[in-house]
Amino acid sequence: MTEFIDYVWKNLDPAEEEGFRIASDASLEKIYQRGFIDARRFSVAQWKNACHKFAKVKGQYRFRREDLDSLKGFFFAALPKRPFDPKRLKDGVRPLEWTNELYQKVLRFESDLTLDAWKKIVHSHVLPKCKKGDTLLYNEYLRQLLDALLEKHASPLRRLELWYHCQREAEAAAPAETKGEAPAAPQKIASSVPIRDAFVAKPDETLKRTAIDKLYFHHGEAPNKDGDRESLDFLDELANLADPEEDGN
């Protein structure tokens, strides 16, 4: 989005020469970790390498605005979705395989946790506290655990989502300060759709998976790796299931 390039440009330090701005390797790293660069497609090394063609003086890269615009393909181009909030999931029973679904649909995008790291957390922290027979109980403990993990292991994408929607909410809540006019009522932002988690619905709907509907492949983008194909098909299948309220359940 041009908005992200504008923001980065405005926040780069001005160079001595008019029309130029400067960035260090640390600055480039920060831009990447803030999520402005599409981490789904590019590594931090690829992003930094793309900047090497610009003049480096005393350890600082020098950019003109058109230089930064030429890197547009590296920037996150879609509208950031709302960050996943564990507090929006209701308490209730889930099947044990729900932990894998949670990783495939949320954690692998919103955290830097690998699947192996998440499995270790499940076995050492989740199952001992939340396993009830052959089911899993989503409760306050698990909610707080997920919240802490997302804060500690936030991915660049999650950081971008948090920043973007925080900005939008602040803009919507700011009153008008036009002299001689009464302050306008704060513009409301449409609340995000509640997460429909059929695992906490009626017992006969336990296996109907409409939980955590959050897809990250925007605008029909295909995954870059063959290994993601099965997971993407799984997400598409979940997204296409009928809403319980719409199908009369």
**Domain ranges across the chain:** 2-74, 86-240
Fold (CATH) for 2-74? Recoverin; domain 1 (1.10.238)
Integer angstrom CA distances of residue 248 from 195, 206, 243, 245: 18, 16, 9, 6
Residue 105 has pLDDT above 50, yes or no: yes
Query: What tens digit of pLDDT does each residue of 140-150 get?
Result: 999 999 999 99
Nearest to 126 by CA among 146, 104, 155: 146
pLDDT digits (tens, 9 = 90+) for 205-215: 333 333 344 44
Higher pLDDT, residue 189 or 72: 72
Give the type of residue at 170. Answer: A
